[in-house]
Structure 1
Amino acid sequence: MSCHDAAPSPGDVIAAGTPAIALVGNPNSGKSTLFNALTGARQTVMNAPGTTVELQTGSWRRGAQRIAVVDLPGTYSLVPRSPDEQVAVDYVHGASALGRPDLAVVVLDGAALARSLYLLAQVRETGTPTVAAVTMLDVATARGVRPDLEALADAAQVPVVALDPRSGTGLEALGGAVERMLADCRCEADAPHPRDDDDRFAWTQRVHAAAVPAPPAVPVRSVSDRIDRLLLHPLLGVPVFLAVMWAVFQLTTAVASPLVGAVGGFFDGPLATWLRGALPGPAWVSGLVVDGVLSGVGTVLSFVPLLALVFVAIGLLEDSGYLARAAFVADRALRTIGLDGRAMVPLVIGFGCNVPAMGATRTMPDARRRLLTGLLVPLTSCPARLTVYVLVAGTFFPRAAGTVVFGLYVLSGLLVVLGGLALRTTAFRDLRRTRPLVLALPAYHVPRLRSLLLSTWTRVAAFVRGAGGIIAGTLVVVWLLSAIPVTGGHAVGDVPVHESAYGRLADGIAPVLAPAGLDDWHVASALTTGFVAKEVVVGALAQSYSLDAADASAASPSGALGDRLRDTLGESSGGHATAAALAFLVFVLAYTPCLATVAEQRRVFGARWAVGAVGVQLAVAWLLAVAVFQVGRVLT
């Protein structure tokens, strides 16, 4: 039975009448690991109503009973200092659109019990039935501060269970305690509750003194302490951090790229060929199915191995305890743009691929900084843009192509910094005063494979469900526009690009690019297609000139495609082809990276922020390209 009338959450995540429990705890207390252990693969990722704060909800099956579990953002108290903590506070107090939990499981860090007890005191004050789950007992034992759980239960007057969510030890005991509390339906605790800070601190000290023996006279130096002497060393910590970030970057490029290519090649190659031969009827039918629907599905699924590898890497860093250390190492540099050290991981991943970088922002517990990071990620230059850089730089700057490409990556980093400073002084003024990062460092652990795979599966599945439909649907629309003739003499699905609706769209866009020296439908067509994916810009240029794949090779900028592009920019720029080429490169760098990034940005942060970000990116790209061309035409 349910102690409260449960209100269904958005999307009926929590069905009416289903008991709901909230997992409440400090950051790095093991709360999310417990959530994974309870719910398995029965999880849903969503944003709390009206916010960009990410929540995980899941189903915990206890025999025939189904219990809804909500993993709340980590917090040190029920006095909110951020939107994330506000979401946790509202749900525990029953002031959220999610309803009110029937029971709160407060996760206590056994190695730092005093810090956790203050939160327990506040949760008890709400009148919500409460069970305390004590984790990190192995760490507490190693430090000589293992609490007496029976004494803790007597002093705190709540059921207490020992728990190791990484191994599953104690889950059955927790299930029994939860079932008993739900069956008793004790919506108001029997014990008197402290009501102000003085009472809470006194209660915390009394309970802690009853449960925890006196600490050893000589503090025990744990394994984590000894490792931290290296990883947090002012001189050695930075090279280690850079090496770890380099390894993550390599994972998104050298390791994941062949897998992405293999998946995409299967859909574009054998499967596409088979479907073309198997589908009956006119050519436009196979074109729609193969070049529209199948291409969309293939594009979505090609991201799966990349996302899986990146999320596994993040999970390893997070579960091992190193991610918190990395945040401290990078904190000072990122505070200048209103962020903290935890933003370094998604920004580094962004240079490998913007899509998993959006998902990687979840490692940041503060919603405002998570959003700011998500708005800056598209400014990081992913490898998909590199094919365009190589073609254009090799065509127009053959003796300095490497320098030009390097300069674009430097410009990308500069745009991240300038973009952060601009946002911090406008839409994110609340982040102008950024204090040094204060974070409790978790003990080092060996990550558990099952928990790691469950977390990865949940994140990848959320991308496929949330972004997949948008990507596939848009690609179908692009195919339809390129298949519909606007002049006579052509059949649907068999029409030159310039004679299609897509070509006419490019004609309409081209004049907007005139101040940047790019007033040509070939260029406009390629840039429009590049909004879907930067990988296809070179191919779109070749297609607009009716060249075959060999001529489109970015590895041969001096070939037919390079010659055509040189002539096009020379004409569109009034004889200033070099300046127009630089403007083209800057525009490719600065405008929206790909449709998949937009779809993931929408899933994580909402449609309003995603659409607004696209508008700003296009405006910034246009302004930069115009400035580069106008200055370049004077100097050349």
Structure 2
Amino acid sequence: MSERPITKGPVAKGPVAKGPVAKALLTKPCCDDDVPGGVNAGDPRVALVGNPNVGKSTLFNMLTGARQRIGNWPGKTVSVAQGTWRSPNGEITLIDLPGTYSLVPGSPDEALTRDLLVDRGMGGRPDLVVITVDAANLARNLYLLAQVMETGVPLVVALTMVDIAESRGIRVDAGRLSELIGAPVVPLVPRRGEGVAEFDRVVARALAAPRRPALPVLGEDMEAALASITAEVPAETAVRYPARWLSIALLTGEDVPGVPEETAAAARAAGAALSGGEPAGDDEPDDPELLVAEQRYAWVHEVIAEVVTRRGAGRATWSDRVDRVLTSRWSGPPIFLAVMWAVFALTTKAAAPLMAGFQGLVDGPVSTGAGRLLDALGAGGAIRGLVLNGLIAGVGQVLSFVPLMAIMFVLLSVLEDSGYLARAAFVVDRLMRVIGLPGRAFLPLIVGFGCNVPALAGTRILSDRRHRLLTGLLIPFVTCSARLTVYVLVATAFFGSAAGTVVFAMYVLSIALVIGMGLLLRGTLFRGMAEEPLVLDLPPYRLPAVRVIGAQSWVKLQAFLKTASGIIVATVTLVWLLSSIPFGGQGSFGRTPIEHSVFGAASHAVAPAFAPSGFGDWHASAALITGFVAKEAVVSTMAQTYSMGEPADGHQPGGLGGALRATIEQTSHGHPVPAVLAFLVFLLAYTPCMTTVAAQRVEIGGRLTLFGIGMQLTLAWLLAVAVFRVGSLFL
């Protein structure tokens, strides 16, 4: 792709200060002589840092593609995305740190970002920091940039959103900004690949010869106070922390591990002198913190005056006009519901023929070919049953849902990349406040529609512990993508062309359960929770980029398949083993009808509990039992029990749906619609999976996790009974 000039001024090659304004805005870093080393023995490590919604993750996805992984940082409970950037200058390990507005952390995610930048004793520190800065909202981003500069880490500024800035009449002089901060600044439009070649060259130079940025000047009195604190820092402490950052942290009252009490006392005295009074007590306002913030903002305003020019300021943009509709308290909620209905309707309709074709391939050529191969190998009945009726029937049924998951991930990625999902968080902020949660809690709940496990990890963005606990109890009621496969199978079997509307209704019910249980818990276990205002940057509306959508969807689909495949194979094998062991003396191993096996006996024992709900059959209870382990296994267990239980009926593609209809017709005594709705409601409300339970235990503790399991099972059973009993009166 050819590159065009996208902002004014050249890309600076290094820290150069010119003119009186530049001298007033920066100083040479006098207090921190050592610089973090260059490239590691292995691949160099580059960390992406920035405010939320400034294009940081878009840049990460563009540079790494599908070569990325998400996992907890070593020794932490914070999930971080890492990937391999195959640049022309060699492979680079890229770390996408959680978005933050400040290096004064208010959540575990933000604490990780701060610690990686300032704690030299922490493993896995980056060799270089790339801080993404939104050119369209430069003032808002420069505060974090000032804090990163104070850590002394080598950095490169990625100036993103320059196309959006230009459309608003904003031009940023990248060359002048580079001179003022003493670090390279590269204008970028990551979604279109513009500026990437120059970005690669600048990052390579910065890794080869790391240099510290300049330090923002915070005023004569503040600089004197910081110098006095720096003089009191012991040598062993200065080795661990950057002197400038440490002095400011102590001055503003942060509790920094490993700092002697004498040094902290000197910082309190300096702060008292700076604020014109005695050392502040615990209950008094932290005046030095406010003074530091004021000086940083003064620096920000001076930089803005130097580098930003505007034309046509004050005019309402088309984005503003659209937001008046999409974020309105009256039109916003129905538009949100309509968008989500369209997503699920389109997902089910577009995926149906692909799923049918895939299932036909598995049931036909794959099963036939596998059977002939087993015959040629002389495989016995037990092995043949495991392969054909277990692995192929179960795994094949679930893999047929790959088109469904792919389409859904693409559509949700389109909504996210276009900027709409951030507006959705704003729309539901009022709703979240009803249950005592801040609008930010909507973000992990949205993640829960993909998978509850990362959603639970996402609660760490909430600063209040009680908010995190309440959100952690509510997330299992958010219907995840694994449950979607069951919804589609059952809804298609019973409701045909209206399946999309039924699936959408399940998602609406999921939201209703979150609200209802939130109100109940707020009035009981979580009385008196403090309110927290919603602070959220609304990203600009953008045309989704095919490359970004493809990378995001592929990573999500890979994660789903990786999780589902292992769970399904293990569950199918266990179900086959238990189904091969005779119960009650009938048959022998591998030669017993499944309903007379150990697994069948357990399913028969549980089935009466669901009789009041209209689906008291052992096939349904068997699927729900394995669903407690993982919802991905529900469909495979259904396929397994029916094909193993009735091997002579020659199930054709779609036969599973027909068998399920026949079962529900019998158990509901002529009321199949309310019975199947009751089954779907129970599936929605009861415990998602054991992985979610494990994640809950980490995030909210063992006692609340056990309470949550009991709450979910009780509510699921009561709702299922109510749906069937009331529905039987009308349907």
Shorter-chain TM-score bucket reads: 0.7 to 0.9
Report % sequence identity: 40
Distance 1:337 1:392 in 2: 35
The code of the aligned residue for 1:204 comes to V
Match for residue 57 of structure 1? Answer: 82
Shift of 1:110: 0.6
Show CA shifts across 1:425-466 (max 9, x none): 788x59944435332222211111111101111111122223
The question of whether the paired residues in 2 share the 8 Å contact of 1:526 and 1:541 is answered with no
More deviation, 135-144/261-270: 261-270
After the TM superposition, which residues 407-486 of structure 1 pair with which residues of structure 2 at under 5 Å, given as runs? 414-422=512-520, 432-486=529-583
The question of whether the paired residues in 2 share the 8 Å contact of 1:322 and 1:444 is answered with yes
The question of whether the paired residues in 1 share the 8 Å contact of 2:390 and 2:640 is answered with no
The structure-2 alpha-carbon separation of the partners of 1:430 and 1:220, relative to structure 1 and needing over 3 Å to count, comes to: farther
The structure-2 alpha-carbon separation of the partners of 1:297 and 1:335, relative to structure 1 and needing over 3 Å to count, comes to: same
Match for residue 171 of structure 2? Answer: 146
More deviation, 455-464/239-248: 239-248
Distance 2:519 2:648 in 1: 44
The code of the aligned residue for 2:372 comes to G
The yes-or-no answer on 1:384 pairing with 2:482 is no
Match for residue 323 of structure 1? Answer: 421
The yes-or-no answer on 1:204 pairing with 2:300 is yes
Q: Indicate which of 99, 115, 118 corresponds to 1:93.
A: 118
Show CA shifts across 1:536-581 (max 9, x none): 6599589769995699987799968644x368xxxxxxxxx99xx9
Match for residue 712 of structure 2? Answer: 620
Match for residue 349 of structure 2? Answer: 254
Match for residue 278 of structure 1? Answer: 373
The structure-2 alpha-carbon separation of the partners of 1:379 and 1:42, relative to structure 1 and needing over 3 Å to count, comes to: closer
Compute the TM-score of the two structures, normalised by the length of structure 1: 0.78
Distance 2:332 2:192 in 1: 31
The structure-2 alpha-carbon separation of the partners of 1:406 and 1:119, relative to structure 1 and needing over 3 Å to count, comes to: closer
Distance 1:463 1:234 in 2: 35
The structure-2 alpha-carbon separation of the partners of 1:425 and 1:50, relative to structure 1 and needing over 3 Å to count, comes to: farther
After the TM superposition, which residues 130-529 of structure 1 pair with which residues of structure 2 at under 5 Å, given as runs? 130-186=155-211, 188-189=212-213, 191=215, 194=218, 195=248, 196-213=292-309, 215-216=310-311, 218-279=313-374, 280=377, 281-339=379-437, 366=461, 368=468, 371=472, 374-378=475-479, 384=486, 414-422=512-520, 432-486=529-583, 488=585, 490-506=587-603, 509=606, 524-525=621-622, 527-528=624-625
The code of the aligned residue for 1:201 comes to Y
Shift of 1:95: 7.1
The question of whether the paired residues in 2 share the 8 Å contact of 1:29 and 1:107 is answered with yes
The code of the aligned residue for 1:271 comes to V
The structure-2 alpha-carbon separation of the partners of 1:35 and 1:406, relative to structure 1 and needing over 3 Å to count, comes to: closer
Distance 1:306 1:360 in 2: 21
Match for residue 598 of structure 1? Answer: 689
The structure-2 alpha-carbon separation of the partners of 1:516 and 1:373, relative to structure 1 and needing over 3 Å to count, comes to: closer
The code of the aligned residue for 2:430 comes to R
The code of the aligned residue for 1:478 comes to V
The question of whether the paired residues in 2 share the 8 Å contact of 1:379 and 1:590 is answered with no
The structure-2 alpha-carbon separation of the partners of 1:238 and 1:516, relative to structure 1 and needing over 3 Å to count, comes to: closer
The question of whether the paired residues in 1 share the 8 Å contact of 2:186 and 2:198 is answered with yes
Distance 1:487 1:623 in 2: 34
Show CA shifts across 1:500-527 (max 9, x none): 1212333565687799999986774454
Shift of 1:478: 0.9
Distance 2:319 2:494 in 1: 50
The code of the aligned residue for 2:399 comes to L
Distance 2:664 2:170 in 1: 70
Q: What SS does the corresponding residue of 1:79 show, helix, strand or coil?
A: coil
Q: Indicate which of 143, 154, 157 corresponds to 1:129.
A: 154
The structure-2 alpha-carbon separation of the partners of 1:605 and 1:38, relative to structure 1 and needing over 3 Å to count, comes to: farther
Distance 1:236 1:295 in 2: 46
Shift of 1:405: 12
The structure-2 alpha-carbon separation of the partners of 1:430 and 1:449, relative to structure 1 and needing over 3 Å to count, comes to: farther
Distance 2:433 2:709 in 1: 23
The question of whether the paired residues in 2 share the 8 Å contact of 1:387 and 1:535 is answered with no
Shift of 1:343: 7.0
The question of whether the paired residues in 1 share the 8 Å contact of 2:478 and 2:511 is answered with no
Distance 2:695 2:561 in 1: 13
Match for residue 45 of structure 1? Answer: 70
Shift of 1:27: 1.3
Number of paired residues?
Answer: 600
The code of the aligned residue for 1:453 comes to G
The question of whether the paired residues in 2 share the 8 Å contact of 1:55 and 1:71 is answered with yes
Q: What SS does the corresponding residue of 2:83 show, helix, strand or coil?
A: strand
Distance 1:52 1:431 in 2: 28
The question of whether the paired residues in 2 share the 8 Å contact of 1:316 and 1:452 is answered with yes
The structure-2 alpha-carbon separation of the partners of 1:146 and 1:515, relative to structure 1 and needing over 3 Å to count, comes to: same
Distance 2:72 2:361 in 1: 34
Show CA shifts across 1:468-494 (max 9, x none): 212221121111111222455634333
Show CA shifts across 1:207-252 (max 9, x none): 1211113x44752333322332433344444443332121112134
The question of whether the paired residues in 2 share the 8 Å contact of 1:252 and 1:349 is answered with no
Distance 2:195 2:598 in 1: 63
Show CA shifts across 1:98-146 (max 9, x none): 5211111111111111111111011111121111111111222222221
The question of whether the paired residues in 1 share the 8 Å contact of 2:479 and 2:507 is answered with no
Distance 1:295 1:284 in 2: 15
The structure-2 alpha-carbon separation of the partners of 1:261 and 1:97, relative to structure 1 and needing over 3 Å to count, comes to: farther
Distance 2:459 2:719 in 1: 35
Q: What SS does the corresponding residue of 1:22 show, helix, strand or coil?
A: strand
The question of whether the paired residues in 2 share the 8 Å contact of 1:311 and 1:456 is answered with yes
Distance 1:379 1:43 in 2: 22
Show CA shifts across 1:248-307 (max 9, x none): 121343333443444344323431222122213212212212233334542553343222
The code of the aligned residue for 2:486 comes to A
After the TM superposition, which residues 30-41 of structure 1 pair with which residues of structure 2 at under 5 Å, given as runs? 30-41=55-66
The question of whether the paired residues in 2 share the 8 Å contact of 1:248 and 1:349 is answered with no
Distance 2:37 2:71 in 1: 22
Shift of 1:18: 2.4
The structure-2 alpha-carbon separation of the partners of 1:47 and 1:20, relative to structure 1 and needing over 3 Å to count, comes to: same
Gaps spanning 5+ residues in structure 2: where? 1-33, 219-247, 249-291, 463-467, 496-501
Shift of 1:372: 5.6
Shift of 1:160: 0.9
Gaps spanning 5+ residues in structure 1: where? 7-13, 394-403, 568-576
Q: Indicate which of 91, 95, 111 corresponds to 1:70.
A: 95
Distance 2:134 2:507 in 1: 43
The code of the aligned residue for 1:203 comes to W
Larger radius of gyration: 2
Distance 2:321 2:614 in 1: 60
More deviation, 336-345/32-41: 336-345
The structure-2 alpha-carbon separation of the partners of 1:337 and 1:262, relative to structure 1 and needing over 3 Å to count, comes to: farther
Match for residue 242 of structure 2? Answer: none
More deviation, 369-378/238-247: 369-378
Compute the TM-score of the two structures, normalised by the length of structure 2: 0.69
